């Protein structure tokens, strides 16, 4: 079984070395000791959220302090393909279900989308609170799936600004049940394996998911005009909470993340 993970201060994680002792404090330490009930002798991982992973063994566990004897330091490279989920705000926590599953499936960034047909509205202070809530959901899911890299939740975008936010991405896929092209066919025809790119260059792929009422014709036209492709997943219509994760499963398989 894989070790439980906790997020440490990035500077402290970067400074750690095998044979040393890493001290975790604050909310993460309290969660490790009071909720997870970690005790001396148990194995644990500490990550910085950007690819560095410390492996070690608990030496001391107190209510707000966890000391770990570091046995190994790993630097996990970012995947060649960067996945961005554009998730329309949806009622009944369906949007939060979507980003939680997407995090477990490897999404790298999330853009909340205030679409025309979104029933839920993020305005003024609610936008900041909503983003913070989504980041909390993403962080918990990253810990659950033992990820060393923490996806970032970006500022909410409305329909007018969304094409600008997606500009420069290598591929933008808009999920729509009336599309003529399947997602699998679209990706396979575009040679996105990244063989011809310089070391360190990433291929950015955005998946756009609409709200319960669907993406409006005007929104589709705007996204297409900006270079997006409309694609379908299959013969059935998926909920806003499951469409994005389903697309990520296919992308993971097609692009070799799960090979």
pLDDT digits (tens, 9 = 90+) for 18-49: 999 999 999 999 999 999 999 999 999 999 99
Nearest Cα neighbor of 170 from 206, 208, 199, 204 is: 204
- Give dist(CA 8, CA 27) in Å, integer: 10
Could you tell me if 34 and 63 are in contact, meaning their C-beta atoms sit under 8 angstroms apart?
A: yes
Reply yes or no on whether the pLDDT at 195 is more than 70.
no
Residue 12 has what pLDDT? 96
Instruction: Specify the pairing of strand 109-114 against strand 81-88.
Output: parallel
Mean residue pLDDT of the chain comes to: 92
Percentage of the chain lying above the pLDDT 90 cut: 78
Nearest Cα neighbor of 143 from 225, 35, 216 is: 35
Residue 192 has what pLDDT? 58
Question: Mean pLDDT, to the nearest integer, of 229-242?
Answer: 90
Beta strand extents in the chain (DSSP E only): 5-7, 21-25, 43-47, 52-62, 65-75, 81-88, 109-114, 152-153, 157-158, 171-175, 181-182, 203-209, 229-232
Residue 64 has what pLDDT? 87
Question: Mean pLDDT, to the nearest integer, of 108-126?
Answer: 90
Reply yes or no on whether the pLDDT at 132 is more than 70.
yes
């Amino acid at each position: 079984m894989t070790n439980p993970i906790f997020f440490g201060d990035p500077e402290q994680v970067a400074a750690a070395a095998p044979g040393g002792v890493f001290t975790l404090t604050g909310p993460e330490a309290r969660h490790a000791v009071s909720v997870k009930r970690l005790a001396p002798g148990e194995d644990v991982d500490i990550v910085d959220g950007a690819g560095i992973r410390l492996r070690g063994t608990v030496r001391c566990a107190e209510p707000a302090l966890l000391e770990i004897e570091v046995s190994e330091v790993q630097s996990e490279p970012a995947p060649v393909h960067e996945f961005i989920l554009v998730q329309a705000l949806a009622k009944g926590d369906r949007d939060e279900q979507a980003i939680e599953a997407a995090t477990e499936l490897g999404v790298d960034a999330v853009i909340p989308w205030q679409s025309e047909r979104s029933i839920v509205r993020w305005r003024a202070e609610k936008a900041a609170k909503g983003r913070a809530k989504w980041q909390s959901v993403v962080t918990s899911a990253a810990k659950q799936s033992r990820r060393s890299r923490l996806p970032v939740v970006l500022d909410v975008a409305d329909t007018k600004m969304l094409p600008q936010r997606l500009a420069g991405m290598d591929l933008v896929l808009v999920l729509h049940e009336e599309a003529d092209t399947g997602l699998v066919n679209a990706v396979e025809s575009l040679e996105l394996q990244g063989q011809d790119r310089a070391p360190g260059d990433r291929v950015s792929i955005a998946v756009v998911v609409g709200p319960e009422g669907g993406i409006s014709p005007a929104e589709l036209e705007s996204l297409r005009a900006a270079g997006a492709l409309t694609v379908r997943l299959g013969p059935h219509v998926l909920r806003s909470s499951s469409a994005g994760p389903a697309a990520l499963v296919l992308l993971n398989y097609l692009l070799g993340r799960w090979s």
